[in-house]
Structure 1
């Protein structure tokens, strides 16, 4: 057996030496006209063989085990330059001469069970994008954000079955504006929010930390830089991407998961349970916590309702305007009077709203009086089904399952389902279908559909979203000069975007939040626009609010291994009510350093 291995080793050695070498003859006893001259000279230049102190090669001499081990050790050090077959031969030789290699102090990593070995991958991203306080045409308010994001990714091999993954993250701003992060703030109330520890300028927070255990038949992890890839149990804070594009959700879960199959190729089933830590709380807060309106807001609502009722009764517009003003003034006076009068006014108004059959009444079964001097009502869009207190843990509990079948660079198909748990289960219970297909090695198409089975009162519907697109090329950060260009169309109704999208432009279109709305901050457009329409009497059952439909052009280029440059452009965007949005441009460069 060892003789066969030595012959194979000779083939490896002479294959490595098959290139012409312009160098002086390293050995005095090797004729330049000899058939072995090129190979011996090449091996000497590569430091694979050294010869003897007197300058001779002694090719006719039998080689010792120690000398063979020296050659194998040098080949092991150069394995990355060998072919797969040659690497396999060197591995077999290393196994046969393991003790001799150990005596030489050589570590053959593929043959050892490494404990506590940690790989560090530094990820540096520079990004330039506009952040909007109002994204709609004619009212565009924005600030430019030039920022850096630094991530320190660690992969620790505990043993051949267990791996620990970690990610530390920090942001730096260069344009004088706060760097946006979906997890930056905890909201204590509508205008009361505090910055989370670790999310300030230059502060470091732990973004991911999870461990996996590979069960079943042991997997050969040779050539798998991220450890085992099939039949995994995991626990911690781990990444979750829904669908092919990740427009619906691409963030982290804090919990546990089970993966059956190999996530790299073929079919695999994933079941996960935990808290979705990248939920956009600014966008989802009204659905969870309700929204409190001042006395002035409520008086305006009452006046608008009286105006609509007068017109419906056949009164003139002038008369309806007078009724509107009188009603608003009466309600405002009642809400600012003594506690008994305020309570009576609030009770009557609540009865009128509930009995009116207006769209406002259909939004909620509960309008809760606050009556603390400046506020009158809290409106819960989900009625008594979802009434969470401010300051509660805003990471939404989620049960998630997906089945993915893929053949890399050919096709992949996804089917998945997610359901919020607890009170928020009344807001989200969705399923999705997604696929990608390579028509040719360069051209690929993809499509995705998401349906929320919960009927949301906001637009009185069970919302859905879809996207489809085409791309040419594949920008692989490990392949220099690779590139891709593509175009997507995204249609996302309010209630199908869960936050933490894979794309900052899509985030702002689908989850747009007004920085300032009346006297309140960070109010989602779907809610503010609805209430504006109710207040000014323009709301009607056929009008739709929130969401977005838009085109997204994307291009990426890898000038060198480990560096990718990307440009995105969002255009022809509008919300579901037809309000046009501003065009957006994003540019970023990401380097991976190992």
Structure 2
């Protein structure tokens, strides 16, 4: 990254943090951060007990009127379930002293406002600089720099003491004129043509999250000092966030559907079950596995090998046809006769091959039909046809049955019956369940399972385990394991992935000066990355997509590396059962620092990356700064 881009990133982040510092970190202009009363006054403001004066001051040296005191007492009474016995006794005594003032309509309304109808808004500004790869491999890398701003407008509305509505408007803006990557930015029409979805253009806002929850069972009263509503026993509907595991490397995105949670997600154990559609899917990566790759047959028939074969056959046919007419190489003008006869023969051969191809239902059947048709039309001898069949079967036999000649499309999961239309299930239907037990800053354990529903369920059904343990208050270790129980044909395996890491410190955006340093190792076989990760470096290593992959000289467009590399190896005769394609294994170094409350700066570095076949990938550096404005 250039120094200019680094300065731009930091400058934008500091500007955003400055806004946060004024509006959230210090609620009152006349209370200095170094004052002995700062922490207490800030906590009372955060909890809604005191709100200061309209000019933004606290006026700690001013006598409080009985009416103002009664408003404070009313708000404390509204939070009585969060007070200990001594605090309750004090509040009860004050309530008796100010009984007349507490009957005032203004005070009663103030108390009611703290119980219902409270709205919190948090604006999130993220500036990020990261390389974007058209080809991530070191021997042929191609990339550009992406400098972007992401804005998220979050609203949390406590409709009443059981019901909460959450929303998040989101937009991305390029800061250097380059297209900004978003996992679900593009869709595909029924013909496989790629298009940009509404609301995902540069600077366009889209609704990233919108869901409502209802807290059932015994009423929860210990959440009033947090802006996020109840945390125990929830049912919800809408578009809500789902993060798999501790890191979210496998999937960290949104579901659109319903969710039920039993237990408290803040501390202790809770069970979550959800059903809906995963909306943060990288369709360029997942689409070909579900919807196939169109145009491969045309590429094969238009390849140099096929052209050479057609030319050879055409020449033989033309020579035989001219000899039958008594025209020999010694005949005047023979080259002209030969050129015309060869062209006619080539046309006949091509039509015969195409007809045989399109009347077949599988690639293996197509190879057989071409040979039989060629013999039946006297285009080649039975001996030559046998040699041709053996040659084609040896080159394409292990993927031949995945190819549908009628629409010229290769379906990687065709043997399992997966042949989907391009506009079918772009937001993949998914059922998900997890159990998490958490003791904050001590340890946590995750167990989860998920399965795609419908045809995609034949591609993805997985379970996983994850955990973190604090060896000391500063040092903690973490690890995850994910297994896809579906056998995927390209590598003929049921893939798995794992990661583990060692971290020091904890970066808390609400604690100035906090920081975290960590190193993770990630091993992910192709088929265990589900399309939307929490980290842009992880996304590009595990789910790499070639921008313009060419097969047999024909441009096939955006193609996942795990499919493209396999087909290239088959076409080049270098494939073998021992070879493995796609996926990634690499190290990820991470550093986070909170220079002031509300601002977090992060730097990540991916290195020593290889795919499962040992092909080396480029190292990546990413810098981001995120500010939260309340």
Q: What TM-score, normalized by structure 1, do the two folds share?
A: 0.79
Mapped contact 2:71–2:110 kept (Cα < 8 A): no
Say which of 250, 260, 265 aligns to 1:248: 250
CA distance in 2, matches of 1:436, 1:101: 49
Residue aligning to 2:466: 434
Mapped contact 1:364–1:381 kept (Cα < 8 A): no
SS at match of 1:393: coil
Mapped contact 1:557–1:564 kept (Cα < 8 A): yes
Note the C-alpha offset of 1:535. 1.2
SS at match of 1:521: coil
* CA RMSD across the alignment: 3.3
Residue aligning to 2:272: 270
More moved, 293-302 vs 417-426: 293-302
Q: What TM-score, normalized by structure 2, do the two folds share?
A: 0.75
Mapped contact 2:521–2:588 kept (Cα < 8 A): yes
Q: Which runs of 5+ in 1 are unaligned?
A: 1-18, 22-42, 51-66, 305-320, 372-376
Say which of 379, 385, 391 aligns to 2:410: 379
Residue aligning to 1:178: 179
Note the C-alpha offset of 1:361. 3.8
Change (3 A) 1:544 1:20: closer
Say which of 58, 61, 70 aligns to 1:46: 61
Say which of 417, 428, 432 aligns to 1:396: 428
SS at match of 2:557: strand
Residue aligning to 1:480: 512
Mapped contact 2:515–2:592 kept (Cα < 8 A): yes
Change (3 A) 1:335 1:559: farther
Say which of 559, 579, 587 aligns to 2:595: 559
Mapped contact 1:198–1:204 kept (Cα < 8 A): yes
- Pairing 1:156-555 to 2, within 5 Å after superposition: 156-188=157-189, 192-220=193-221, 221-299=223-301, 303=305, 341-345=353-357, 350-351=364-365, 358=394, 360-363=396-399, 365-370=401-406, 377-384=408-415, 385-518=417-550, 519-555=555-591
Mapped contact 1:302–1:327 kept (Cα < 8 A): no
SS at match of 2:285: helix
- Pairing 1:58-137 to 2, within 5 Å after superposition: 67=66, 70-73=68-71, 92=92, 97=98, 100-101=101-102, 103=104, 105-106=106-107, 114-137=115-138
Mapped contact 2:310–2:350 kept (Cα < 8 A): no
Note the C-alpha offset of 1:225. 1.6
Q: Which runs of 5+ in 2 are unaligned?
A: 1-34, 38-57, 317-342, 369-388
- Pairing 1:10-25 to 2, within 5 Å after superposition: none
CA distance in 2, matches of 1:537, 1:364: 15
Note the C-alpha offset of 1:393. 3.2
Change (3 A) 1:71 1:346: closer
Mapped contact 1:302–1:328 kept (Cα < 8 A): no
**Equivalent pairs, count:** 513
CA distance in 1, matches of 2:524, 2:418: 23
CA distance in 2, matches of 1:20, 1:395: 53
Residue aligning to 1:4: none
Note the C-alpha offset of 1:560. 1.1
Task: Considering Cα pairs closer than 8 Å and 6+ residues apart, tell me whether 1 or 2 has the greater RCO.
Answer: 2
CA distance in 1, matches of 2:460, 2:95: 55
SS at match of 1:270: strand
CA distance in 2, matches of 1:128, 1:112: 43
Deviations 1:25-80 (A, max 9, x none): xxxxxxxxxxxxxxxxxx99533447xxxxxxxxxxxxxxxx4x54354678999x
Note the C-alpha offset of 1:368. 1.2
